[in-house]
Structure 1
Amino acid sequence: MDVSCAFPTALDSPDNIALAEELGYHRAWLYDTPQQSPDVWMMLALAAERTERIGLGPGVLVPSLRHPMVNAAATAALTALAPGRVAVAFGTGFSGRRAMGYGAVPWSYMESYIRAYRGLLRGETIEWEGARMRMLHPEGHAPSRPVEVPVLVGALGPKGAKVARELGDGLYATLSTPEFMSEHPWVAYLAWGTVLDEDEAPDSDHARQTAGPGWALSLHGAYEFGGPDAVRALPGGQEWLDALEAEPPEQRHLSIHSGHCVELNAADTAAWRAGGSVTLRDVTLSGTRAEIRRKLDEFQALGVTEIVFQPCGSEVRAELENFLEAADPVLAGGA
């Protein structure tokens, strides 16, 4: 199983990706979250200039944020900067859309978008929004077509599974492990967490800073997909709801997604302090080195071929080193 990493796109992402290459990580993915991040393609281009080996890609692109021609042109440019190293993943937009008050992208739109995007990279004339178009880039403006880039699809349910089978080269999964994972030769699984000391409590300051943002996604996801009752069923859930419902209904999505994958927001903090941290090991890839190794073996048995770890907190190097040592001691020893 390949060991990769992901980062919430930030101004220091190129530096963090260069560090990940130094340590021996296989690939680095950056999130497409414009409500809290600089442009994902801009940061990937800077990372390409600072690295030589590590794979690069947006994980995941949210189709409604850009015209398919824009993403195709950006993909071609990144491929020119980092030949043979680029992969692209698409998703329906958990935070990339919901943080701006929208729902997820319909799978019918996703299917049409990926078809158009892939057609453009092949050099075809495609139809989009009633108009016919193709990539017209002269020599020196982009690589010649076709531009060969693997595409992963972030799918969890049957509609997404169909699109992934028909249009994807693999699956980009997170938060759950769908049964159809085993159908795909390439399954990247995004996880958050931290390596805990043997006697470290799950509510330690270290655990809160490094695994807390990933733990908070269990509350965010429960609310977005199951509503308030699903949150109440979780430890600390009522306290989380109390903090959230102090906000006007039309602005609650702003509070939910504030600090997404970076830090705990006010509602998350209320839940953590109320004892919600007891689920840390269950909802994140957190534990001792031996516990993490066992969890990774379980993921591999389910069909995961690439584990994607997102470090949190201020000590990025330490988090990357510790996880790599737990995930692949041989690789860590040679990095």
Structure 2
Amino acid sequence: MKISSAFASSLDAPAHIAVAEQLGYERAWLYDTPHQSPDVWMLLALAAERTERIGLGPGVLVPTLRHPMVNAAGAAGLAALAPGRAAVAFGTGFTSARAMGAKPATWAYLREYISAFRGLLAGETVEWQGARLRMMHPSGHAPERPIDIPVAISATGPKGLAIARELGDGLFSVNEETSAARDFSWAALTVHGTVLAEGEALNSPHVMAAAGPGNALAYHFLHEAGQDVRDLPGGEQWLTSIEHTDPRDIHLAIHDQHLVGLNAADRAAWHAGSWEAVPRTTFTGTLEEVRRRLAGVAEAGVTELIYQPSGPDIPAELEAFLKAATGL
């Protein structure tokens, strides 16, 4: 199982990716989150200039944010700046859509979008919303077509998995969703968490900063999926905080600081005991505990484990997690 990295798309992300390369991570993915980040293609270009080996890609691109030509041009540019290192992942959109008050894309829209994207990179003339399109980039503006860039698709359920099998080169998953991993030769899984120091408590300031954002993802996801967050520790306090928000702004309250830090509701839940869920919602534990979790997902068929570090010391989190993953 290859060990890759993912980063919130901050201004420091290119420097963090350079550290990941030095440590030996296989690939670095950046989130497509324009509501809280600079443009993902801009940051990937900067990372390409700072690195030589590590794979680079947006994970995941949200089709409703851009015309397919824009993402095709961005992917082509990355392929030129980092030859042989570019990859792309697509999804229907979770935070990147909901944080702006929009619904995720439908599976039908995603299928049409990826078909157009792949056709453009292949040098074909494609139809998109009634217009015929082709990449017309002359020499020096993009690599010659066809441009071969691996595409992973974030999918669950019959419709999504069918599209991933039809149009994708691999599967991109989160939240320990490994049930379909064996159906794909490339099965990537994104995880969060931290390696505990000897005797460190789950409610320590370090765990709050390094694993708290990943733990909060479970609360965000359950609520947006229409499920009851009160089934989780501190869920009552999380929900109370959200419900005190102006109804027009609930989506802003939920997705504030998403996978970066803890928002007001996340902090209320943490102090009410949400930290008790951290071993279930993230890969947090001692070195040996994290190592066992990694062995479990490898056994389930995951071929690329993607770790997103959080907190004030990203290099230290990257180093500790890789030590757990490789035993070095």
TM-score, structure 1 as length reference: 0.97
Counterpart in 2 of 1:35?
A: 35
Amino acid at match of 2:79: T
Counterpart in 1 of 2:95?
A: 95
| Structure 1: gaps (5+ residues) | 331-335
Q: 2:295 aligns with which of 294, 297, 300?
A: 297
Partners of 1:311 and 1:133 in 2: CA distance: 39
Counterpart in 1 of 2:313?
A: 315
Amino acid at match of 1:232: R
- Quick check: 1:156–1:176 contact (8 Å CA) kept in 2? no
Amino acid at match of 1:269: R
Q: 1:261 aligns with which of 259, 262, 265?
A: 259
Counterpart in 2 of 1:198?
A: 198
**Cα-Cα RMSD:** 0.8
Partners of 2:16 and 2:231 in 1: CA distance: 37
Shift of 1:226: 2.7
Counterpart in 1 of 2:325?
A: 327
Counterpart in 1 of 2:188?
A: 188
Shift of 1:322: 0.4
SS in 1 for 2:180: helix
Amino acid at match of 1:250: R
SS in 2 for 1:138: coil
Counterpart in 2 of 1:67?
A: 67
- Quick check: 2:178–2:301 contact (8 Å CA) kept in 1? no
Partners of 2:317 and 2:180 in 1: CA distance: 31
Partners of 1:276 and 1:37 in 2: CA distance: 27
- CA deviations 1:172-224 (Å, max 9, x no partner) are 10014142221000111101100012311111111000000000001001101
Aligned residues: 328
Counterpart in 1 of 2:111?
A: 111
Partners of 2:176 and 2:130 in 1: CA distance: 37
Alignment of 1:1-335 (within 5 A): 1-227=1-227, 230-330=228-328
Shift of 1:329: 2.4
Amino acid at match of 1:306: E
- Quick check: 1:157–1:178 contact (8 Å CA) kept in 2? no
Change in Cα spacing, 1:178 to 1:327, as seen in structure 2 (3 Å) is closer
- CA deviations 1:288-324 (Å, max 9, x no partner) are 1100110001101111111110110111111011000
| Structure 2: gaps (5+ residues) | none
- CA deviations 1:19-67 (Å, max 9, x no partner) are 1111111100000000000000000000001100000000000001010
Partners of 1:209 and 1:70 in 2: CA distance: 35
Amino acid at match of 2:261: E
Partners of 1:93 and 1:133 in 2: CA distance: 24
Shift of 1:156: 1.5
Amino acid at match of 1:226: G
Identity of aligned residues (%): 57
- Quick check: 2:171–2:186 contact (8 Å CA) kept in 1? yes
- Quick check: 2:31–2:40 contact (8 Å CA) kept in 1? yes
- CA deviations 1:55-113 (Å, max 9, x no partner) are 00000000010100000011001000000000000011111101111111100000000
Partners of 1:122 and 1:110 in 2: CA distance: 18
The runs of at least 4 consecutive aligned structure 1 residues that moved more than 6 Å come to none
Amino acid at match of 1:133: L
